[in-house]
A and B are shown apart, each in its own frame.
Chain A
Amino acid sequence: MIQAILDNLQTIYLIIFAIFLGFELISKVPSVLHTPLMSGANAISGIVLVGSILFLRSCASDDYISLGIGSLAMIMAVINIVGGFAVTNRMLGMFKKKSS
């Protein structure tokens, strides 16, 4: 356990800094942007896709269970990403400020 913490010290730093960064970045978002922020952030959580690509690439070509489930995981992440960014873009396209 102690060894594991020492081995992953940089990752632990990354996690802590990322948490602070996240709160700093978003703490002053106006309420008009709550939904787009949520769906845009939601699309970013599809980054788990990277894991599924790396998994599929290292999995034996005749292990159809792994390939099947791995592809399903990837499809789910891709829907999350493409759908999330597309719908956010569509929504933001409607947000207009008209000069009065």
Chain B
Amino acid sequence: MKLFGSGHGACPGCGLPIAVKSVLEGTGPCFVANATGCLEIISSQYGKSAWGVPYIHSVFENSAAVAAGIEAALKALGRKDEGPVVVFAGDGATADIGIGCLSGMFDRGHDILYVCLDNEAYQNTGNQQSGLTPPGSNTTTTPSGKVLPGKIKPKKDMVSIALAHKAVYVATASVAYPRDITRKAKRALEFEGPKYLQIHSVCVTGWGVDGKQAIPVAKLAVETALYPLVEYENGQLVRVKKIKDRKPVEEYLKLQRRFRHLFKHPKGKEVIAELQKIADENAKKYGLDA
């Protein structure tokens, strides 16, 4: 039986199955706790589960705590050798509504790999903004209008938040690089304690990209330095994905409906400049330019 099999209901071009399969390839048989969200809905309908691993979905904001309970039970029952404990949760479940449980999981030092599937909004319910929605994104709760150019504030810095909790392994990845995801999942499990892996995952409907364009778009997020791929071990930055000939952010933005308004909105230029500044700062902070 496949660990994450066929039969899931993801849209063609959706990044989530790529992310999940790539993680499970690295972890092997494991215990999965999943937050309410896209992944849960496409994979866990009663009678149609796509999971070949023990899987639990409780509620929206508690998957880090549910995973902590699984880990504690395995310890108490002497069953830790059955496999690692992995969380899959969306960006909203991670950075917004579930951040209390996540902080508790980090703080108590549970031996868990927490994977945040970052499609940059509440996509399951139709593209409402989350703490990980980038500036300028036109979501249904931060729409662009005559005055406002979409989402105002930058993405919440979950990598720093994880590092501040002394998570033993913290990394970002992208569905454009599945083998990198697998390697990182595998590497993460070499560390005992709480581990955080945030995977940039394309949402074809929410972002407004053609299914065939999903991977090129994801790649551009990395190549513009808007989504830097970084890896920390015990708090130290150990690896980054270097970028040859870093591309301007417009190349990434113009392929997506969620940013289209920026090219004609009165404040669009300002927002694009802000996004370019974020990319430049990422490149500098992590030494991304090859």
Chain B binds chain A: no
